[in-house]
Amino acid sequence: MNKKIKTLVVTGPTASGKTSLAVSLSLSFGGEIISADSRQVYIGMDIGTGKDIVEYTRDGRSVPYHLIDVEDPVKGEYNLSRFYKDAVEAIRKIDAKGALPVICGGSTLYVHSVLSGYRMEGGPPDSFLRAKLEAMSAEEIASWFKSERPDAFETLKDKGNKTRLIRAAEKAFSTVNADYPDSSSIAEFLVLAPYYKRKEAHRRIEARLDARLNSGMLDEAIRLHDAGLSWQRMEYLGLEYRYMALHLQGKISYSEMRDTLFIHIRQFVKRQDIWFRKMEREGLLIHWIPDGDSDIAASLVRTWLDGGALPEPVIRLKDIDYGKQGF
């Protein structure tokens, strides 16, 4: 039996410092990063997606990265099926070079696909995918479904019924990777995630948003539109790009854009929190790292690579009660 490839996963909610932690660990353990971000794959979408490429180089040492800038947002689409295939191939290529594959990203469906193998093959409804889709409107589901699986979407008769859309999506993705190797059979995963208390998490979200706006994020949106990216397509790409597109069309003011973005990013983080809790309830072990402490993370990775027994996670999201107001 072939030995499984040790693959580190650094995930977590938006603005939690995943990239910084993944780079630090990659430098310490000879890793190469595989981005698990559904928008960082697009060329030219840099500030709005938080690529932070400058972070991949420290003290003259650079960490190689994969699945960033691999598709033109004007001419092409990137989806879950393609990501899964590309990620599995990247894991194998990095391992063949004697390096440590490090998956880094907060697109929970992308991360979950690699961890689970996404090989239901006609099995029961996918509860994780269902949880993601239940939080979306029928229009949002239809737009996402059409982008990810246009072949399956076009066969639907009722494209406006949310219940039917969700079940159709579950069926479409139950065999989406049937022709690809099961990632869970070729890789052994250690999942780490930076954790911050709610007040600090909100502060980081706001600080990052303002920093991006001050760094030319709106100019980036203008450049993308001038290059042929339609306002409709930009709105579909979500969050920062959606509200920048609305502002640049004169539909909302700058202050409305900024404040609405802050609210919606916090809501997005809440949904991420729900998904991570669900992963834990379904048996996935996530080691939440207090304040993203790289020393604590490095100690866990070292023990794992050496084949030692890992301690129980000190934080479990599923056991944290944020109160009636939520995250």
What does each of the 327 residues of the chain score in pLDDT, given as a tens digit? 578 999 999 999 999 999 999 999 999 999 999 999 999 999 999 999 999 999 999 989 999 999 999 999 999 888 888 899 999 999 999 999 999 999 999 898 899 889 988 653 444 455 556 666 776 778 878 877 876 677 677 778 778 888 788 878 777 765 545 556 677 778 999 999 999 999 999 999 999 999 999 999 999 999 999 999 999 999 888 889 999 999 999 999 999 999 999 999 999 898 889 889 988 998 899 999 999 999 999 999 999 999 999 999 989 998 887 654 444
CA 229, CA 233: separation in Å to the nearest integer?
6
pLDDT for 203: 96
Residues 6+ apart with CB under 8 A from 4: 185, 186, 187, 188
pLDDT for 182: 72
CA 82, CA 109: separation in Å to the nearest integer?
13
pTM of the model: 0.83
CA atoms in the 13 A half-sphere facing the CB of 305 = 18
In contact, 225 and 37? CB cutoff 8 Å: no
| Percent of the chain surpassing pLDDT 70 | 89
pLDDT for 132: 67
Coil, strand or helix: which one is 104?
strand
Q: Strand runs (DSSP E) across 129-213, as ranges?
A: 187-195
Cβ-in-10-Å burial (0-12, 13-18, 19+) of 45 comes to buried
Q: What is the tens place of the pLDDT at every residue in 69-108?
A: 999 999 988 888 889 999 999 999 999 999 999 999 989 8
Q: Strand runs (DSSP E) across the chain, as ranges?
A: 5-10, 31-35, 57-58, 61-62, 65-66, 100-104, 187-195, 286-290
Query: Sign of the CA dihedral 286, 144, 270, 219?
Result: positive
pLDDT for 117: 80
Query: Sign of the CA dihedral 17, 22, 23, 28?
Result: positive
pLDDT for 155: 77
pLDDT for 209: 96
